[in-house]
């Protein structure tokens, strides 16, 4: 587990490099005009993994295992909530995919979510005068990458809530200062009634 966690945060560093190469997209996003229509939209994570089979380099055996798991999910739909089914699918994918494939899948799954989330957060920070519309693209990328890292971490440890919270707390302390101030309304620790506490945006 320790080795996998090291790989996860190494991956976050790679993400920062990848995202920094896409300045034009970020400029569009900062104006609220970014469209994530290029990403498949589906509630089924197993189905999404199938759509990304080429990017993930899935073998025939893995594709068949995903299809079998999708059938099992269909049988469980009436007895379980959407959240429980999503957790089940993530756990099954973690079993089916290799470490690298699973980490790559989490990036593909969460990037469009982070794209939308960062627009919402950035606009909120503008409203609170923490940033201005003309602030640097680099800062925008840092905020987006941090949000993406949190989304990935939540999914990565979906089957271990204690470990998940531990790593989210550690990651939260590494948030860009302006994002930390936004999430905690200028406080070092979020208060219970603070609408900008760190878990509010999720």
pLDDT tens, residue order, the chain (202 aa): 544 555 555 455 445 444 433 433 344 344 443 333 444 555 789 999 999 999 999 999 999 999 999 988 887 877 878 888 889 999 999 999 999 999 999 999 999 999 999 999 999 989 888 888 877 888 999 999 999 999 999 999 998 999 999 999 888 888 888 898 888 765 544 444 444 444 444 4
Reference 35, options 97, 119, 92; nearest CA is: 119
Within its chain, how far is the Cα of 179 from the centroid? 16
Residue 182 contacts residue 139 (beta carbons within 8 Å): no
pTM of the model: 0.73
175 belongs to a structural domain = yes
179 belongs to a structural domain = yes
Number of structural domains, the chain?
A: 1
Domain span including residue 14: 2-38+99-184
- C-alpha span between 20 and 13 (Å, rounded): 11
115 belongs to a structural domain = yes
Supply the Cα-derived Rg of the chain in whole angstroms: 18
């Amino acid at each position: 587990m320790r080795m996998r966690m090291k790989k996860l945060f190494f991956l976050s560093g790679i993400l920062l490099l990848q995202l920094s190469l896409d300045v034009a997209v970020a400029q569009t996003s900062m104006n609220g005009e970014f469209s994530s229509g290029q990403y498949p939209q589906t509630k089924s994570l197993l189905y999404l993994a199938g759509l990304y089979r080429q990017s993930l380099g899935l073998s025939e055996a893995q594709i068949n295992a995903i299809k079998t798991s999708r059938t099992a999910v269909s049988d469980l739909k009436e007895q379980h909530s959407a959240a429980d089914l999503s957790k089940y699918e993530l756990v099954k994918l973690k079993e089916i995919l290799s470490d690298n494939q699973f980490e790559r899948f989490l990036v593909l799954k969460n990037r469009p979510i982070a794209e939308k989330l960062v627009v919402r957060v950035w606009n909120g920070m503008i409203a609170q005068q923490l940033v201005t519309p003309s602030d640097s693209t680099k800062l925008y990328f840092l905020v987006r990458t941090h949000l993406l890292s949190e989304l990935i971490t939540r999914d990565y440890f979906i089957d271990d809530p204690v470990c998940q919270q531990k790593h989210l707390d550690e990651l939260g302390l590494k948030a860009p200062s302006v994002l930390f101030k936004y999430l905690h309304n200028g406080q070092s620790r979020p208060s219970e009634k603070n609408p900008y506490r760190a878990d509010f945006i999720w």
